[in-house]
């Protein structure tokens, strides 16, 4: 695992596969309006980044990209791929190649209390947790056995895969620009987001913080609202 890979959940990860992202590019994207350019980031430039985020001048944050390789369970992917503006995805196809028997088995088994729109999640007791984990594991193993049996009988992969559970791991490339990444993190690295996608969003956000520290600090200082 390279340094740019962060393990997520029990078998997943998010890896930064490539990036063209800097605070300086944001500043120069804005300063070109006045036919000006900075060679290195000054305090004044840092103030400009905070101003751009606060006043929702978003386009200077679009001149960069992050390319990630992500391994995640299907139900996380469904949530992730709802993010459209400034995001691109290419995913492993269960039509063209056989899926692998890798399934998410949650450590964080919780119960839901409250009413629609304002649920809270609390841990279940150890006995229920263990029983739940076992059920999920056994169910996934059974589903994969069926999947393989159907394939052996000559059923097409695109049909056989329909028996696989939402916990099945898949892989995909995800590219986005800094503005769209902030929007994603504002929504998904948030207490209202499901625990599992939040782990991926937190990992993705750590790459934003690493490569664009001033932009990230301004985003956090703006109540985590993207411009």
Ligand X SMILES: Cc1cc2nc3c(=O)[nH]c(=O)nc-3n(C[C@H](O)[C@H](O)[C@H](O)COP(=O)(O)OP(=O)(O)OC[C@H]3O[C@@H](n4cnc5c(N)ncnc54)[C@H](O)[C@@H]3O)c2cc1C
Rounded to 10 degrees, the C-alpha dihedral 97/100/104/105 comes to 150
The verdict on 57 binding ligand X (CB under 6 A) reads no
By beta-carbon proximity to ligand X, the closer residue of 77 and 140 is 77
The single residue of 161, 179, 188, 198 carrying the catalytic annotation is 188
- Residue 142 annotated to the active site: no
The verdict on 82 binding ligand X (CB under 6 A) reads yes
Contact call for residues 180 and 68 (beta carbons, < 8 A):
no
Other Cβ atoms less than 10 A from the Cβ of 1: the count is 8
Pairwise CA distance, residues 97 & 189, whole Å: 32
By beta-carbon proximity to ligand X, the closer residue of 48 and 226 is 226
Count of residues that bind ligand X according to CB under 6 A: 11
- Side-chain half-sphere CA neighbours of 221 within 13 A: 16
| Residues between 168 and 187 with contacts to ligand X, criterion CB under 6 A | 180, 183, 187
Tell me the three state secondary structure of residue 124.
coil
- Token digits for 10? 């029990």
| Window of 17-25, 63-71, 77-85, 130-138 that interacts with ligand X by CB under 6 A | 77-85
By beta-carbon proximity to ligand X, the closer residue of 89 and 148 is 89
Q: Which residues lie near ligand X (CB under 6 A)?
A: 82-85, 87, 180, 183, 187-188, 192-193
């Amino acid at each position: 695992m390279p340094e740019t890979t962060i393990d997520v959940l029990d078998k997943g990860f998010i890896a930064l596969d490539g990036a063209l992202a800097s605070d300086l590019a944001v500043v120069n994207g804005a300063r070109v309006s006045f036919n000006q350019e900075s060679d290195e980031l000054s305090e004044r430039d840092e103030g400009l980044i905070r101003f751009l985020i606060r006043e929702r001048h978003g386009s200077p944050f679009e001149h960069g990209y992050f390319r990630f390789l992500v391994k995640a369970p299907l139900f996380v992917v469904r949530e992730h791929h709802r993010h459209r503006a400034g995001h691109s995805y290419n995913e492993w196809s269960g039509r063209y190649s056989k899926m692998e028997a890798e399934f998410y088995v949650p450590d964080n088994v919780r119960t839901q209390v409250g009413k629609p729109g304002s649920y809270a999640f609390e841990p279940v007791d150890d006995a229920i947790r263990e029983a739940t984990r076992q059920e999920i594991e056994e169910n996934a193993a059974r589903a994969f056995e069926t999947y393989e049996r159907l394939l052996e009988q000559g059923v097409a992969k695109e049909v056989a895969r329909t028996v696989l559970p939402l916990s099945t791991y898949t892989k995909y490339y995800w590219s986005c620009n800094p503005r769209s990444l902030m929007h994603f993190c504002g929504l998904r690295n948030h207490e209202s987001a499901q625990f599992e996608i939040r782990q991926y969003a937190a990992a993705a956000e750590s790459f934003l913080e690493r490569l664009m520290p001033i932009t990230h600090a301004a985003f956090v200082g703006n109540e985590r609202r993207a411009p």
